[in-house]
Amino acid sequence: MEKIKIEICVGTTCFVMGASSIQALEFEIPEDLIGKIEVTESRCMEFCKDHKDGHHKGPFVKINGEVMADATYDKVLDKVRAIIKKKEEN
């Protein structure tokens, strides 16, 4: 199965709003996700500057290219597990 790509914005705004807690994924991958995810960091993705479409609430994380606003460690894991479950069902 192709790895799920998780890109964590660690720009200043996102970092201050909690991206640091999501970075834990880089150092300790939950057992059920070992070998299934690829975690990287990104500089400011510019979403924090875009106030028009409600995208301004960080921290932002991209999961397989899909943007998650207001991300938390648990929300990211829930989303990743949902993607894996869906893939396994197909």
Least Å distance, CB 6 to ligand FES, is: 14
**Using the rule CB under 6 A, which residue among 4, 6, 25, 45 binds ligand FES?**
45
Q: Which residues fall within 8 angstroms of residue 18, CB to CB, at 6 or more apart?
A: 58, 59, 71, 72
Please say which residue, 31 or 66, places its beta carbon nearer to ligand FES: 66
CB within 8 Å of 3: residues ≥ 6 apart = 35, 36, 37, 38
Residue 58 as a binder of ligand FES (CB under 6 A): the answer is yes
61 lines the binding site for ligand FES (CB under 6 A): no
State both tokens at 73: 């460690």
Q: How far is the CB of 36 from ligand FES (least distance, A)?
A: 25
84 Cβ partners below 8 Å, 6+ apart?
1, 4, 33, 36
Q: Please give the residue ranges that form the binding site for ligand FES (CB under 6 A).
A: 9, 11-14, 44-48, 58, 60
